[in-house]
Amino acid sequence: MRLVIPVRLKELHAASGVLWSAGAAGAAGAAGAAGAAGAGGRLISGVTTDSRGDVGGKLFLGIPGPRFDGARFAADAVSRGAAAVLVEDGPGVRASLAELAAGTGVSVATCADAVSALGAMAAAVRARASAKVIGITGSCGKTSTKEILATLLGATAETCASRASFNNHIGVPLTLLEVTPSAEALIVEIGTNHPGEIGPLAALARPEIAIVTNVGHSHLAGLGSLAGVAEEKGALVASLTDGGVAILNADCPSTPALQSRAAAGVRVVTFSAAGTPGADLRALDLEVHPGGTRFVLEGNAVPGGERGRTVTVPLLGEHAVANVLAALAAVIAAGADLGGSLGAIDQLRPAPHRLEPSTANGVMIIDDAYNANPESVAAATRLLARVRPAAAEGRRWLALGEMGELGADSLSLHREAGELVAREAIDRLLVVGEAAPGGPLAAALEGARAAGVDAEHASSIEVGVRRLTDHDDGLLPGDVLLVKASRAAGLEALALQVRASLDAGPRSTVDGRSVEVLT
């Protein structure tokens, strides 16, 4: 159960810049940040911005949005058990809150800027937290690395971590507000899609350990170029102070630029899933097998007793190993029990739609539709090429959707993604989505066909499902399908519908064998 550090309401009021408040007595126009006697001294169990979720005993913070105003949901939050309400001031807000306080006895207040108030409250809680803070960013793999680290570090130390993908100007402060008094570690995921976003979030979180999983062609529409992505991701490294540790990917070409952002007194630790010589943690003899991926753990940062240990990760692919190595580097940097963390690796599971494998009627389906950029598409395609179909005539299928937020480079990067398929052992390519002339998916089709791939096109998810499950020339028992796209493409629905369609058909096996994976 998550419980924030117990904070009295008057402390959060003071931190958030309350303009006006009405306490349990509901006295409209009452002065002072504490509200009526006793109300401001009430302990709250957390802060939430969602009136639909768990609000019991919490402060509900109403944040204005482009489609709704959080203040409108104050009464709903109170009806669901919120202990207090803080919303952004505006026409009629104070009168509405005073009526709410009079009718319910909750403490209510207004502030000039709800987002700033949220950050101020988070900063106040961060200042009194004793947990070691680990910040994670990267073009891909940051959420997976966060989940891996939470499992591995949590095996031997009380650990709090960001929920889901809570990694923006709302999610990061909410994460900080959830740290428990006894927590030894707090893992904060920090994302970005425009310049100048990571710096303020890092300043708020004040991490002692920073992980940059990689720098790739993501959010180019906002960040402009690969150099712009590196500049923005490097802000997390630059936030570290004397004694901090930066954990960087030795296989990423942008790592030297990131390393240059580390201040004096900050230690840099590198990891490599490709076994790059000189990396502080590296995977050797990597093999993908039906149950996941196996490698030998080496590197100068690995304690002698664990060096040379064979590690089996129940996740697919080299990039999954990269995420595990980054997490292990953080475990070591935090001074936690590496042996205990290694013992917890068998508890790891793929996050939904992130290389999530399943089998339907003899067909292996790998759902990797949560997100996509050129680097993750290349990694997923390499993984698919390693899969050995269970029958001699079994085929490898790739269903590819659009990669989002690539800016001016979108066409060339989609064309390169199509060309990549020709360099790997992929039997069928199905490009799914509207392929308007001169658009990204048309470029992917052109690239694939120019490289000699007999690429097909499905104009929608529904058409794609019909093509893949076609009775005469669709998926057959023993085939493997990998689905890859950015989240906006919605191709997780394709994976789900194909699975359901195959499961509804006649049950089949292929000589009693399961799908194998090449080593």
List, for residues 234-279, the tens digit of each pLDDT value: 999 999 999 999 999 999 999 999 999 999 999 999 999 999 999 9
Average pLDDT, the chain: 88
Structure tokens at 199: 């710096």
CATH of the domain at 424: 3.90.190.20
Three-state DSSP class for 201?
A: helix
Within a domain: 155:
yes
CATH of the domain at 52: 3.40.1390.10
Cβ partners under 8 Å of residue 425, min gap 6: 385, 396
Do both 86 and 142 map to the same domain?
A: no
For the chain (519 residues), the mean pLDDT of every run of 10, in chain order, is 56 77 45 35 81 90 77 91 91 90 90 92 91 95 94 96 88 92 94 90 97 86 83 96 98 96 97 96 89 93 95 93 98 97 95 89 93 90 83 88 92 95 92 95 96 94 97 93 96 97 71 44
DSSP letter string, 451-505: TT---EEESSHHHHHHHHT-TTTS--TT-EEEEE--GGG-THHHHHHHHHHHHHS
Do both 49 and 150 map to the same domain?
A: no
Do both 35 and 62 map to the same domain?
A: yes
Within a domain: 276:
yes
Which pLDDT belongs to residue 290?
A: 64
Do both 332 and 379 map to the same domain?
A: no
Within a domain: 329:
yes
Within a domain: 1:
no
Q: How far is CA 115 from CA 9, 58, 161, 249, in A?
A: 17, 17, 21, 33
Do both 14 and 163 map to the same domain?
A: no
CATH of the domain at 182: 3.40.1190.10
Do both 460 and 386 map to the same domain?
A: yes
- Which residue among 72, 96, 120 closes a domain? 120
Rounded to whole angstroms, the Cα distance separating 315 from 290 reads 10
Do both 20 and 66 map to the same domain?
A: yes
Q: Which domain holds residue 328?
A: 129-347
Of 30, 35, 46, nearest to 10 by C-alpha is 35
Within a domain: 260:
yes
Q: How many domains does the chain have?
A: 3
Prediction pTM value? 0.83
Within a domain: 332:
yes
Residue 337, exposed/middle/buried by CB under 10 A (0-12, 13-18, 19+)? Answer: middle
Cβ partners under 8 Å of residue 119, min gap 6: 169, 173, 204
Name the helix (H) or strand (E) containing 84: strand 84-88
On whether the CB atoms of residues 286 and 318 are closer than 8 A, the answer is yes
DSSP letter string, 246-295: EEEETTSTTHHHHHTTPPTT-EEEEEETT--TT-SEEEEEEEEETTEEEE
DSSP letter string, 431-454: EES---TTSHHHHHHHHHHHTT--
Within a domain: 2:
no
Do both 165 and 182 map to the same domain?
A: yes
List, for residues 404-438, the tens digit of each pLDDT value: 989 889 999 999 999 998 899 899 999 999 999 99
Do both 112 and 134 map to the same domain?
A: no
Do both 114 and 143 map to the same domain?
A: no
Rounded to whole angstroms, the Cα distance separating 315 from 136 reads 20
Do both 113 and 148 map to the same domain?
A: no
Do both 116 and 137 map to the same domain?
A: no
Query: Beta strand pairing status for 59-62 and 47-48?
Result: parallel
Within a domain: 152:
yes
